[in-house]
Amino acid sequence: MTCDFDFLALAAPGVRMLQPYPPGKPESELRREYGLSDIVKLASNENPLGPSPLALIAVREALSGLARYPDGNGFALKTALSAKLGLSMSMLTLGNGSNDVLELVARAFLTPEHEAVFSEHAFAVYPIVTQAIGATARVAKANRPDHAMPYGHDPAAMLELINDRTRVLFIANPNNPTGTWLKTAELETLLAAVPEHVIVVVDEAYVEYVEAETDCPTALPWLDRFPNLIVTRSFSKAYGLAGLRVGYAVSHPQVADLLNRVRQPFNVNSLALVAATAALADLDYLERSRTLNRAGMQQLQAACRHWGLNWLPSVGNFLCVNVGRPGREVFLELLKHGVIVRPVDNYGLPDFLRISVGAEAENARLIAALGAVLKD
């Protein structure tokens, strides 16, 4: 279909130069392109266990009610979250995935006159929601490659970019796609140094995978000390509900009220609400997810060590690996073997691949394919 009219001229200024978020390549697309049927997808940091059995039961039981709108307030899920986190329901905002909540933050606090700060190599949604609003993105330089936390967030560099126009600071902890993190003292010091007029978003999408002995904190205990703090979380990763899209934010009640003012009615569907509520109660499933991730991470790291490849420190469910050549070239070769990973050149890491931790057999398939590609 052709049209001579310039619709781009009608778009909001922030949207004109915006590039859509590039998702991980779906298996169906690889089947169409290569005629493959045996495919392993390790590109989108999904849980290889699939959803919690309790979540599946809850979804089946809710199917008969699909003619009705969902509970727009998400009372049952908020009640479960409140009990689990030990926090008031008035501090919760539900989203269609945590990405939705990040956009709510931008809509509530950013304007074309304001700025948002985030780190180099941070989650791609931060610049997208900032630019869509028409606000200015200020990108802090990340740690040097020879740093103890290479390519990770540099708190001092973030603070240097904050000024009177700054309204939002985005911090992914752990960070996607690097897997790196700010330690307790670093994050607490950073939060204390940020002016009160700046909303600080600590994105904890991968927090459930953090091992107890790792000094990667949750910011939830600091909500009382820092009223400008928002903590966002997701059910897409450790809880295995990526296909249903449900996440949430925890914040000061007044901040939550503002986020809920711009939240669309019924933004979380009925199946997502019941599945997330049930998944929260399935402690055995969550522990199995962690155990599988721990073993898979060791499996991938052992293979990288064998090949002499370096990887970034990670406390998520993925490994960012320096393959020693353009990562996108290796990605394309792996597709021929039926293995999907994630090139991260769009994050400023051209020689890296982000590899999700899969089940043991999936990891073995990736290791065999990558070994073959690296020999070529």
Asked if residue 103 and residue 41 are part of one domain, the reply reads no
Structural domain span for residue 262: 53-281
Q: Which amino acid is at 336?
A: K
Are 211 and 222 part of one and the same domain?
Answer: yes
Tokens describing residue 357: 């931790």
Q: Is 89 exposed, middle or buried (0-12, 13-18, 19+ CB in 10 A)?
A: middle
Q: pTM of the prediction?
A: 0.94
What per-residue confidence (pLDDT) applies to 25? 74
DSSP 244-312: T--EEEEE-HHHHHHHHHHSPTT-S-HHHHHHHHHHHH-HHHHHHHHHHHHHHHHHHHHHHHHHT-EE-
Collapse the DSSP code of 115 into the 3-class scheme (helix H, G, I; strand E, B; otherwise coil) and give the result: strand
Residue 40 bridge partners (DSSP): 339
Q: Assess if residue 5 is contained within a domain.
A: no
Handedness of CA 32, 35, 39, 43 (dihedral sign): negative
* Same domain, residue pair 242 and 289: no
Claim to verify: residue 68 and residue 44 sit in the same structural domain: no
pLDDT at res. 230: 98
Please list, in sequence order, all residues whose beta carbon lies within 8 angstroms of the beta carbon of residue 233, skipping any fewer than 6 positions away.
Answer: 98, 204, 205, 207, 247, 248, 249, 250
Residue with tokens 């919760």: 92
165 lies in some domain: yes
Domain-terminating residue out of 281, 303, 330: 281
Domain containing residue 154: CATH number = 3.40.640.10
- Classified as helix, coil or strand, 346 is helix
Residues 99 and 219 in one domain: yes
176 in the same domain as 145:
yes
Residue 4 belongs to some domain of the structure: no
Cα–Cα distance measured from residue 42 to residue 123, given in angstroms and rounded to the nearest whole number: 18
User: Do 105 and 151 have their domain in common?
Assistant: yes
Q: Do 198 and 169 meet the contact criterion of CB atoms below 8 Å apart?
A: yes
Do 112 and 143 fall within a single domain?
A: yes
3 within a domain of the structure (yes/no): no
Among candidate residues 233, 261, 281, the one where a domain is terminated = 281
Question: Can you spell out the DSSP letters for 222-233?
Answer: GTTT-TTEEEEE
**Distance (Å, rounded) from C-alpha 215 to C-alpha 219?**
12
In this structure, the answer to whether residues 202 and 310 fall within a common structural domain is: no
Number of domains in the chain: 2
Residue 166 lies in a domain: yes
Going by C-alpha positions, the residue among 342, 324, 344 that lies closest to residue 334 is 342
Q: Does residue 10 fall inside a structural domain?
A: no
* Whether residue 177 has a cis bond before it, omega within 30° of 0: yes
- Tell me if 239 is assigned to some domain: yes
Specify the pairing of strand 40-41 against strand 339-340: parallel
Q: Which of 281, 296, 326 delimits the end of a domain?
A: 281
pLDDT value for 2: 66
Tell me the CATH number at 297. Answer: 3.90.1150.10
Does 97 fall in a domain?
yes
Q: Residue 223 phi/psi, 5° resolution?
A: -60, -35
pLDDT of residue 373: 96
Residues 213 and 95 in one domain: yes
Per-residue pLDDT of the chain (376 residues; tens, 9 = 90+): 667 777 778 778 778 777 777 777 788 887 887 778 889 999 999 999 999 999 999 999 999 999 999 999 999 999 999 999 999 999 999 999 999 999 999 999 999 999 999 999 999 999 999 999 999 999 999 999 999 999 999 999 999 999 999 999 999 999 999 999 999 999 999 999 999 999 999 999 999 999 988 999 999 999 999 999 999 999 999 999 999 999 999 999 999 999 999 999 999 999 999 999 999 999 999 999 999 999 999 999 999 999 999 999 999 999 999 999 999 999 999 999 999 999 999 999 999 999 999 999 999 999 999 999 998 7
Examine the domain organization and report whether 153 and 202 are in the same domain: yes
Rounded Cα–Cα distance for residues 127 and 113 (Å)? 16
> Are 324 and 340 found together in one domain?
yes
Give me the pLDDT at residue 1, please.
61
